[in-house]
A and B are shown apart, each in its own frame.
Chain A
């Protein structure tokens, strides 16, 4: 029996194999066939949407050669009658790794505790970075893999774009069919796309070790590739850049995988004139407007978070509303794309396996994805996106014969896909069950017995003679088995109930007539299905042999198909901005208003000093006036009696709201930019608003001597990454000295191998970097001069080759030209003096020394240099370079004439910066006004934004805090934190939001519990961790659910 099936299967394959390739010698007898078929009487949906009834499609040599109504079956074609059946173009998945070699686990980020791999280990004339694998061509390593192809075919796919998903540049992808043929024949387009990502994949090279490093590497590679076109002899052969250039003409696909990364990718594209096709994640619905603005086509997966088991309140305790609400809303991601009018393709990527495709797609459709859009996203859009619509994506003459034969409209839940034809080859998905009423004749020695068989499904039938008989019926492939016996005489109702197959149990051979087990004496029939007449053999109740036939009589009359009940779309909560607790729903986002604070004690930070019983008017986002008895029609009036108004707090040194902080892969990384990877979903933005913070300067970490470019933010909670940025701010950059850059406090196996290892080496890194920068600047100057000269002389300029653009050195040149300002992590006097000396020698300046806990020892030198100082109030003794730190530091520096700020470097302390400033009154006796300036006006000065913020003066930004008490007192709470005249934190509203949040949590926990009780699979509750980025040099009081980003890199 088993053997027979195998043989049959073999026959099927041989019968439909494509033409042999002419260049390949044949072992045996030539057997040329052209696969000439005509599919008649079908309902054909050429583009998957519009229907042609009673139509015919003719295919030959794997291509469609005719399609339409009224066509004749050509001579030589095998007719396949598709009466009652539907034909669709098969689906296309353009984000697959089908047929690609598997990869080993790779790299990760920079780790303070390990030796970095500083150079590429790739052998051959490739570029410097292992993560740039632009030379890889997927079609060269592609191999047909039937066990992977089959589930995709069964789901309805006929062609995929596959690539090796490894590296930041991943080379090219290839379009292949899912036919089980030779690789030569299934490749539809060899070089079909170029692929990119932010993940360096298997590369273990240290650089890049951060999101911003990945971005910088991509940007630099675009520049290098452009430069390489002029074949600069000093570069020699660089296959990576060569391939990069060659790949630029292809569709460019970027795997971004989440909403902010989507935007980051798109911005790189914008810079270099590339419109990426973006591989999305499952959270784009959280920022769909921003997605729309990219103008990109997206590739959207349909994998959704699973419900968690949160029945135990102690488990639910650690699951955030962020996770629960994402679970609730993620299935609507594709619908959000559709609603926003964003073109997109669907992909099976992220699904555990292709079997999940249909349930997931149905879920997406339940959440609002329309049938039309789903079909388009599976056929036309991917084909058009890749420029292969002339080959696949619809059923038109000349296209590849990739199509599905189904029992009905494809998105109908009861519809079955019978066959998936790929390149003109039939692949059976699900055998058609020969339902219907059959007349059965059993021929025994005693004569013929007549029965009626009503086949309902492959394992269910009613079988009766004069009475209904107890039967067991099954169809397996072409084989059929019918066992039957008379009904037992008496059926005890209770026993009957007891035997009824339980839901979820193993109910085999369920019969139409009875569920009783058949006795040993049952008559057993076995046979072969063959169209309308079946034949077979068997044994009767006594074991005598018999033969039998079954002849089709008529179809089963179905009850008129009731209109498939359209499932109600699920009721869900709303998206909040940001997608975090305390985020605003779209219509609740705070708006700029005219605000009048009356009768408060106003700390102006101007020569007026502290004014009692004074009003502050904020209008159009600016401070309109500070004075007595102010009024403004329509203003929101806040009573400030007994309260204090100060400018918003500015944190000079923060690491919140970024996707990465440390690019430690090299000692000089001035090319990386914090601003490239702002994360507006950081809850610490809101928490810091609650402490009166309005601006935070997000610094690169201290892993290397020349770190990355920093970003000043305004904490406009709810805004996107670009809108969080402080507009009109001249850029800064982070430098670092001392123990962190020489990696002293980490027990690195094998020791530190990244230069420098001493403060002497730190100084030399600085000298070297600025020497290179100056040479670079000179090289460009010479080029520009020569160019100008040629232009002036009206001579051709083509012979003049521009120098290579170096993003690292560009940033250093900006420093030399006073366009970018340094904030330098530093502690001890020797290194402070040393760096000042280098700066003087090389012609640049330290704008700010940050941390600077020994600043008090060299305050005079810093003053002479013109540097600002940004320090902690009372930290010390956590490492050797802070053993002489004193809380009087800020006061001494201030008295020595320096502009001094108190910073946090800590997400927790940042919300108490007013208290940290108060400590400078305690330790060293500066005046209270001067102390407050240390967290407001003074940092504004060192950030070069004191014309906009830092004091309360007419015309400055409306960044204001109303405190319940003296702002330097521990009893003071921020009641309102206002940025640009918009109230982003309102303590009274916060209380209400907390209540709403608790109610929403409860709703979601109950919904998840309902899901579990309803039998849906759930996973164990996952605590919602916060990933926190830090300087990596001191402890923090972060709570239980925080993971330091460094720990991730240790994993």
Chain B
């Protein structure tokens, strides 16, 4: 009876409102108990027929059984064996910075110039982006908003996806500095008439890249010296913006794919003792031991990708995660597809599960591992006591599109509205063709 009422309520809401009025939920007060759940905690454990108690936005208890206090402000959700997961985290994203990539006016991801350590993505993050709600519909509740660029692109911030404005959304502000490693591959030039195949020319791109990186290092050396100075005659905003990096309050995300790019990035750990994260990492399977040894984390940007070289295993991008897992490297999986905007991150992880990870390892790659890499695992990333209640509920295995269907989601205990623009258009045109009747509504 109650269920029917809820369904009715949701549709009424949709029909009456456009996405613009999908409201951020009010702070959660009181107690929610989820029971009869298959709980995938995100740290590798699965609790069958388990229970979770949430209080005032935090997870208070998780287990086979939890106590249910009595009182008015206690809501009990029997999920009837559904799958319960931590909210998914998109570890790299242009969400809220790019609305429609083809329209320049709607893109704010890339500042001009090569040395932008002072640039901060959070200030351009648009909580009203129509893309955000489509990600929530697939269980993504947090994202790392990453500035794009060449060389030093600026700072990223992690946001939760239910907010009035970026200040509300900020989950971890300026938690990462992004360094885009220059390409080290010789690019072909094409002669007159084309068709005769590529010809390389010009300077050795490896030398050019090394020189660029040397410039970046020199910048950091000067920044370090600057901080050693008791007072500055002139304030240097770019140097100032690196303070958190030296203080290890910020990580250095080096966007690197080839082995040489990654080796160059490792130098930053050696010389400056930065906490390094490799983003991209398409060839990281070749140096898993080195990554492990230097304690470098990896974000696999796009497992649904073609192999690098013609000769590579046709499934290599699918298998890279398993290679990292085997070597004990901390890694997360992302989804940077420009046409789907991250909504398929769970399926990227699912593919990694099909090619060598366990399902719980694959889940960790889009939840707890991502939280660890971003330094927010004390707050989120798993269903563990004391963490924010960032939880999603799905009809079936969320890693498989065949079964994934997110029915409920909580951010900091707030049950969020899973409506999005696309569902609204769906509803609208179901009306047009009378499809609801056909479905038996």
Contacts and interface: CB of A to CB of B under 8 A. Distances in A.
Contact of A1040 (B194, B204, B257): B257
Contacts of B344: 874
B200 interface: yes
A616 interface: no
Of A318, A1023, A1048, the most chain B CB neighbours within 10 A belong to A1023
A857 interface: yes
A829 B382 CA distance: 44
A105 interface: yes
A884 B192 CA distance: 42
Contacts of B186: 1020, 1022-1023
A897 B164 CA distance: 41
B100 A1039 contact: no
Contact of A895 (B187, B350, B433): B433
B55 interface: no
B11 to A, nearest CB: 15
Interface stretch (A120-128, A187-195, A642-650, A914-922): A914-922
Interface string A564-603: 0000000000000000111000000000000000000000
B100 A877 contact: yes
A320 B402 contact: no
Interface in A104-125: 105-106, 108-109
Nearest to B430: A892
Interface in B300-350: 302, 304-311, 313-315, 317, 336-341, 343-344, 347, 350
Interface string B288-306: 0000000000000010111
Nearest to B341: A877
Nearest to A582: B314
Interface stretch (A57-65, A682-690, A762-770): A682-690
A150 interface: no
A971 B350 contact: yes
Nearest to B406: A922
A337 interface: no
Interface in B155-198: 185-190, 192-196, 198
Interface string B399-432: 1111111000000000000000011011001101
B130 interface: yes
Contacts of B433: 859-860, 892, 895-896
A919 B401 contact: yes
B52 interface: no
B121 interface: no
A877 B192 contact: no
A886 interface: yes
B108 to A, nearest CB: 15
Report whether over half of chain A's contact residues are helix, strand or loop; otherwise say mixed: loop
B211 interface: no
Interface stretch (A220-228, A455-463, A1030-1038): A1030-1038
B102 interface: yes
A990 B283 CA distance: 21
B282 interface: yes
Nearest to B335: A1037
B148 interface: no
B426 A314 contact: no
Contact of B402 (A856, A877, A922, A1042): A922
Contacts of A887: 422
Contacts of A1034: 338-339
Tell which of A198, A911, A973, A1022 has the most Cβ of chain B within 10 Å. Answer: A1022
Given A690-B315, A876-B422, A888-B426, A970 B401 contact: yes
Interface centre among B130, B286, B310, B400 (most CB of A within 10 A): B310
Interface in B99-129: 99-103
B23 interface: no
Interface centre among B192, B259, B401, B429 (most CB of A within 10 A): B401
Given A108-B194, A895-B435, A1048-B190, A876 B315 contact: no
Nearest to B355: A973
Contact of B400 (A314, A908, A970, A990): A970
A704 B354 CA distance: 41
A659 to B, nearest CB: 8
B372 to A, nearest CB: 25
Contacts of B200: 1020, 1022
B337 A1037 contact: yes
A884 B404 CA distance: 23
A199 interface: yes
B101 A879 contact: yes
B93 interface: no
Contacts of B401: 915, 918-919, 922, 968, 970
B389 to A, nearest CB: 25
How many chain A residues sit at the interface, stated as a range, is 35 or more
Interface in A839-887: 856-857, 859-860, 872, 874-880, 883-887
Given A880-B103, A892-B430, A971-B354, A257 B195 contact: yes
A919 B401 CA distance: 6
Contact of A1022 (B188, B336, B338): B188
B438 interface: yes
B353 interface: yes
B36 interface: no
A1023 B283 CA distance: 15
Contacts of A884: 425
A184 interface: no
B195 A261 contact: yes
B305 A1041 contact: no
A794 to B, nearest CB: 52
Interface in A1003-1051: 1020, 1022-1026, 1034-1035, 1037-1043, 1048, 1051
Given A109-B194, A884-B425, A1024 B306 contact: no
B283 A970 contact: no
A105 B308 contact: no
A211 B260 CA distance: 37
Contacts of A872: 339
A479 to B, nearest CB: 44
A582 B309 CA distance: 12
B429 A997 contact: no
B305 A880 contact: no
B306 A1042 contact: yes
A1037 B306 contact: yes
B369 interface: no
A677 to B, nearest CB: 10
B351 interface: yes
A970 B430 contact: no
A907 interface: yes
B32 interface: no
B284 interface: no
Nearest to A991: B313
Contact of B306 (A318, A970, A1038): A1038
B258 interface: yes
A918 B401 CA distance: 6
Given A878-B338, A971-B353, A1040 B185 contact: yes
Given A857-B429, A877-B341, A878-B339, A683 B310 contact: yes
B304 A318 contact: no
B364 interface: no
Contacts of B337: 1035, 1037
A879 B400 contact: no
14 contacts: A199-B194, A199-B195, A211-B195, A258-B195, A317-B259, A580-B310, A875-B339, A888-B423, A892-B426, A895-B438, A909-B304, A912-B304, A918-B401, A971-B353
Given A199-B192, A883-B100, 13 more contacts: A201-B193, A257-B195, A876-B341, A877-B100, A887-B422, A911-B314, A912-B304, A918-B400, A922-B404, A1034-B338, A1039-B317, A1043-B187, A1043-B188
Interface of B: 99-103, 130-131, 134, 185-190, 192-196, 198, 200, 204, 257-260, 282-283, 286, 302, 304-311, 313-315, 317, 336-341, 343-344, 347, 350-351, 353-354, 399-405, 422-423, 425-426, 429-430, 432-433, 435, 438-439
